[in-house]
C-alpha cells in the first residue's frame, strides 16, 4: 500500500503583478525601523515577514538590512503565493533571510508568530469589501506586540500611504513623500490603501483631511523659500489643531505625517 501524503493546502490569496524595484519601500522600512525599534529590541523572536514581495526579492533583502540596524539578529521571511517567484528568490537566501510559499495564512515553521508583517502593494487588486477580512487574518498571526504595515506606494518609492495595525486592529495611517517631487499633499490620494482609495469623496473623512492638508500646504507656501521640508513641517504643525497627528517634528522632517486611524476610517 502506498504511503499517504499530507494534504496540500492551497495558499490564501491571489498573485500580485509582481512589480518591484530596489529601494521602492525605503520610506516604509525607515519608519518601521524607527517606530518599532523598541519591540524589535525586546523580542525573543525578532522575525519579520515580507508578504507578497513580488517577482524579485529586493524588498525582502532590504528589509533585513534595515531591521538589522536596530536588531543585529533580526530575521526576514519573504512569502509569495507564486511558487516560481519563491524558486527564483532561493539563491538570495542567507543568514537571517529565507523565502517560503504561502499567502495570507503566513506559514512560518514551528508556529512562530511574526513581530512584523509588511504587506506593501498587495491589496490593491482586491475588492474594498475584502480588506477587513484580510486585515483580521493577518493581525491574528502577529506576535502579541507585533505590527502589520499595509499600504501602497508608487513604482520608485516617492509617495507612500500605509495603515499600521496591531493584533487588535488598525491604529494609525501614515502619509510619506519625497517632498521635492510633491506638488500638493493631495497628490498622495492615488496611493491611498485599498480601505480608503474609493472613499476620497465628499462626506468621507479622508476627503476632508486631504482638503485641509492642501489648504494648510498653500498657507505655508512662504516657507517653501527655505525648503520643501520646512514647508511640510509648518503644514503638519498647523494640522494638529483639527486632526489627531500622533508623531512629531523628528518624523515630519523625513516627509512623514501619522494620524490616529479612527480620524480617517471609512464612514459606513
Total count of domains within the chain = 1
Rounded to an integer, the average pLDDT of 139-166 is 97
pLDDT band at 18 (very low <50, low <70, confident <90, very high): low
Residue 55 clears pLDDT 60, i.e. is over it: yes
Residue 3 clears pLDDT 50, i.e. is over it: no
pLDDT band at 230 (very low <50, low <70, confident <90, very high): very high
Task: Give the whole-angstrom CA distance, residue 153 versus residue 160.
Answer: 4
Tens of pLDDT along 65-94? 999 999 999 999 999 999 999 999 999 999
Task: Quote the pLDDT of residue 10.
Answer: 83
pLDDT band at 27 (very low <50, low <70, confident <90, very high): very high
The answer as to whether 110 is a domain residue is yes
The answer as to whether 188 is a domain residue is no
Q: What percent of the chain has pLDDT over 70?
A: 96
Residues 6+ apart with CB under 8 A from 219: 235, 238
Task: Quote the pLDDT of residue 4.
Answer: 40
Task: Give the whole-angstrom CA distance, residue 33 versus residue 194.
Answer: 24
The answer as to whether 210 is a domain residue is no
The answer as to whether 187 is a domain residue is no
Residue 36 clears pLDDT 90, i.e. is over it: yes
Rounded mean pLDDT of the chain? 94
- Residue 31 domain boundaries: 26-179+244-262
pTM for this prediction = 0.94
Helix, strand or coil for residue 63? helix
Q: Given its phi and psi angles, is residue 115 left (phi above 0), alpha (psi -120 to 50 degrees) or beta?
A: alpha
CB 199 within 8 A of CB 207: yes
Task: Give the whole-angstrom CA distance, residue 264 versus residue 73.
Answer: 36
Task: Quote the pLDDT of residue 15.
Answer: 76
The answer as to whether 114 is a domain residue is yes
Task: Give the whole-angstrom CA distance, residue 76 versus residue 152.
Answer: 20
The answer as to whether 268 is a domain residue is no
pLDDT band at 7 (very low <50, low <70, confident <90, very high): very low
Sheet strands (E) in 4-142: 47-51, 75-80, 97-101, 116-120
CB 201 within 8 A of CB 194: no
The answer as to whether 37 is a domain residue is yes
Rounded to an integer, the average pLDDT of 155-184 is 96
Q: What is the largest CA-CA distance in the chain?
A: 81
For residue 64, with 0-12 CB atoms within 10 Å meaning exposed, 13-18 middle and 19 or more buried, which class applies?
A: buried
Task: Quote the pLDDT of residue 179.
Answer: 96
Task: Give the whole-angstrom CA distance, residue 149 versus residue 165.
Answer: 6
Task: Quote the pLDDT of residue 6.
Answer: 38
- CATH number, domain with residue 128: 3.40.50.150
Rounded to an integer, the average pLDDT of 165-190 is 97
CB 74 within 8 A of CB 96: yes
The answer as to whether 49 is a domain residue is yes
Residues 6+ apart with CB under 8 A from 164: 147, 148, 149, 170, 171, 172, 173, 174, 261
Residue that is written with C-alpha cell 533580526 in the block:
74
Amino acid at each position: 500500500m502506498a504511503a499517504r501524503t499530507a494534504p496540500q493546502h492551497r495558499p490564501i490569496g491571489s498573485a500580485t503583478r509582481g512589480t518591484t524595484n530596489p529601494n521602492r519601500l525605503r520610506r516604509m522600512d525607515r519608519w518601521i525601523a524607527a517606530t518599532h525599534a523598541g519591540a524589535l529590541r525586546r523580542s525573543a523572536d525578532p522575525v519579520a515577514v515580507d508578504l507578497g514581495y513580488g517577482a524579485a526579492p529586493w524588498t525582502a533583502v532590504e528589509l533585513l538590512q534595515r531591521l538589522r540596524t536596530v536588531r543585529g539578529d533580526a530575521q526576514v521571511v519573504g512569502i509569495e503565493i507564486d511558487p516560481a517567484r519563491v524558486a527564483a528568490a532561493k539563491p538570495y537566501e542567507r543568514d537571517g533571510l529565507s523565502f517560503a510559499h504561502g499567502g495570507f495564512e503566513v506559514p512560518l515553521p514551528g508556529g512562530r508568530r511574526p513581530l512584523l508583517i509588511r504587506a506593501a502593494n498587495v491589496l490593491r487588486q482586491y475588492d474594498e469589501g475584502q480588506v477587513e477580512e484580510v486585515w483580521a487574518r493577518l493581525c491574528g498571526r502577529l506576535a502579541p506586540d507585533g505590527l502589520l504595515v499595509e499600504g501602497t506606494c508608487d513604482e520608485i518609492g516617492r509617495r507612500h500611504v500605509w495603515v499600521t495595525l496591531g493584533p487588535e486592529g488598525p491604529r494609525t495611517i501614515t502619509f510619506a513623500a519625497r517632498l521635492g517631487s510633491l506638488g500638493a499633499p493631495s497628490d498622495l490620494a492615488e496611493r491611498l490603501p485599498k480601505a480608503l482609495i474609493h472613499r476620497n469623496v465628499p462626506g468621507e473623512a479622508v476627503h476632508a483631511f486631504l482638503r485641509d492638508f492642501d489648504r494648510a500646504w498653500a498657507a505655508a507656501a512662504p516657507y517653501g523659500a527655505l525648503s520643501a521640508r520646512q514647508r511640510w513641517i509648518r503644514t503638519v504643525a498647523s494640522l494638529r489643531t483639527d486632526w489627531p497627528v500622533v508623531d512629531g517634528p523628528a518624523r515630519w522632517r523625513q516627509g512623514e505625517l501619522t494620524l490616529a486611524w479612527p480620524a480617517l476610517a471609512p464612514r459606513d
